[in-house]
Structure 1
Amino acid sequence: MRKEAIIIFQKNPEKGRVKTRLAADIGEDQALEVYLKLCETCYKTCNSYPADKFLFFDSYLPSENIPGTEGFHYQIQEIGNLGNKMNEAIQRILAKGYEKVVLIGTDCPELTSEHLKQAFEYLESHELVLGPALDGGYYLIGMKRPRPELFKGIPWSTNEVLEKTIKKCTSIGLSYKSLTELSDLDTLDDWNRLKHLIVSIPG
């Protein structure tokens, strides 16, 4: 077993449930297609780094293996808010014996294998690594042991997520390191700016 694991959080790709802000401008059909391509891009990035991969779906396990996820371990996210889901997933994977765990979503096409490599390297000398997103959240969080306090009392899906998380790190004396700031793809402006990074761009 490898010592490092990547957790990927994704929604089950269903029309009307994914990329809802983008769908308001380009329609639900194309928004679903964009989401599928975002996932494909994410899988490709993760496959370029030699860690074990755990793909956590938000609703149900797919009936068939998804192309590009050969060797991935499929899991279901816990119930509750995003913080509870992430905390539980990280604890679950660390309990398997991994020394370092990094959790990402599927919405950041700027993420590369170099960012993943750097995140795991930072965990050699720091207890936490964060990938700050332009919208005030984070696209990556990594740690070596469970830190449930980092996921409590955070206003999820707001521009205060990163700030509040860093304040918690400071208050409990937790050493952390930040990666390069990147952007998630959520809006039409994001799509127009980032679509060149996505595998097999639709349309």
Structure 2
Amino acid sequence: MSNTQIVVLAKRPRPGFVKTRLTPPYTPEEAAELAACALRDTLDAVAATPAAARVLAVDDVPGFHADPRFGGGAGFTVIGQRGGGLDERLAGAFGDAYARCPVPVLLVGMDTPQVTPELLSRAAAALDGCDAVFGPAADGGFWLLGLRRADPARLLGVPMSRPDTGAAQLRRLDGLSVATLPVLTDVDDAASAREVAARAPRTRFAAALARLAAGATR
């Protein structure tokens, strides 16, 4: 078993609250369905990765537990998110996970359903020899961040959801040894959704996108 824990930061997939940049061409209900499939793919990948602990940090704990699509988060410790901005919620998730289990932390979101156990295991192994591990995203952000020791100062104040977010986050890691993972594409809009589905055709996300495409052509 790995001595690293994996945290997934996620929103409960609700129409109008998730993947709003997919609307249009998709309806809010369809965007929420795609988000739910992306989250389930991510949880599957994390569940299949050796880890000391698996944590799901969500914005709506009661709603998530009641959502039949996720079975209450079986195999995961489900915790609430803290903070307002994304930088605060990331820092809170790192801190809360580390307080529960003081071992290195890997954190991913729900925007890269193409993530695999192999990539996550590679990230965990990197923390055996480095202070941090960084997974850059094609849009200039990042899809994974790992820290051997949780430190809110490494995240708080980093500008999020911008083309320079990844570069800003890397600057916050100055002084640490950092391993870098391959670039992945976040699901942000319809074009990136199609790209991700093409790269990971066996995922729930790709199947859902194909169903929606088939329905649109009838």
TM-score relative to the length of structure 1: 0.92
Cα distance in structure 1, aligned partners of 2:49 and 2:72:
14
1:185 counterpart residue number: 187
Matched residue SS, 2:25? helix
| 1:90 CA drift (Å) | 0.9
Corresponding residue number in structure 2 for 1:48: 48
CA distance in 2, matches of 1:87, 1:134: 22
Q: Which residue matches 2:144?
A: 140
Find the residue that maps to 1:95 and give its secondary structure.
Answer: helix
Mark the CA change 1:110 to 1:2 in structure 2 (over 3 Å): closer, same or farther: closer
Return the offset for 1:2.
Answer: 6.6
Aligned pairs, how many? 201
Q: Would the alpha carbon gap of residues 55 and 151 (structure 1) be closer, same or farther in structure 2, given more than 3 Å must change?
A: same
Deviations 1:110-132 (A, max 9, x none): 21111111111111111111100
Aligned-residue CA RMSD (Å): 1.8
> Aligned to 1:199, which of 201, 204, 209?
204
List structure 1 segments (4+ residues) > 3 angstroms apart after TM superposition.
Answer: none
Any idea what SS the aligned residue of 2:173 has? Answer: helix
What per-residue deviation string (whole Å, max 9, x for no partner) do you get for residues 83-133 of structure 1?
Answer: 111111111111223321100001102211111111111111111111000
Q: How does 1:9-158 map to 2 (within 5 A)?
A: 9-51=9-51, 52-61=53-62, 62-64=64-66, 66-67=70-71, 69-158=73-162
SS at match of 2:143: strand
Unaligned runs of 5+ in 1: none
Shift of 1:4: 2.0
Partner deviation per Cα, 1:48-98 (whole Å, 9 max, x = no partner)? 102121111113333437239421111100022111111111111112233
What is the percentage of aligned positions where both structures have the same residue? 27
Does the 8 Å CA contact 2:39/2:113 hold for their aligned counterparts?
no
Larger deviation, residues 9-18 vs 58-67: 58-67
Aligned counterparts of 1:162 and 1:3: Cα–Cα separation in 2: 26
CA distance in 1 between partners of 2:113 and 2:101 (Å): 29
Measured in 1, the distance between the counterparts of 2:185 and 2:160 equals: 17
Unaligned 5+ segments in structure 2 are 212-218
